[in-house]
Amino acid sequence: MAKQVPSAPRSVRGSRSGRPIMALLDLLGRRWTLRIVWELRESTLTSRALRTACDEASPTILQTRLSELREAGFVELTDAGYRLTGLGRELLQTFTPLNRFAKRWGKRGS
């Protein structure tokens, strides 16, 4: 029986370990990444519609982030445009409690 060789940890900014949580936080911390996920929360959007929803973000950076999100399995390209995958929707659901917390936190000084 062939012995499986473990894959090398993925290179992540600020971490030598390549742990999944570090890789995820690295991806989500990149400019426009969370905004793209947020804008795709309710519908499929074309590249142009997504760019408009993202306050006219640079087309180059938008395409880079979309490629990264597709590679990570959070976004897919269909004939109708970009949409969240099941994994992308699951990721979005994990932000619901954080969003509620952020709203309460934001009101603390009001």
Convert the pLDDT of each residue in 79-92 to its tens digit. Answer: 999 999 999 999 99
* Cβ proximity of 59 and 67 under 8 Å: no
Whether the predicted pLDDT of 17 surpasses 80? no
Query: How confident is residue 108, by pLDDT bands cut at 50, 70 and 90?
Result: confident
* Cβ proximity of 91 and 98 under 8 Å: no
Averaged pLDDT, 31-40: 96
Q: Is the four-CA dihedral 67, 71, 77, 83 of positive or negative sign? A: negative
Whether the predicted pLDDT of 48 surpasses 80? yes
What pTM was computed for the model? 0.79
- Please give the Cα distance from 98 to 103 (Å, whole number): 9
Whether the predicted pLDDT of 12 surpasses 70? no
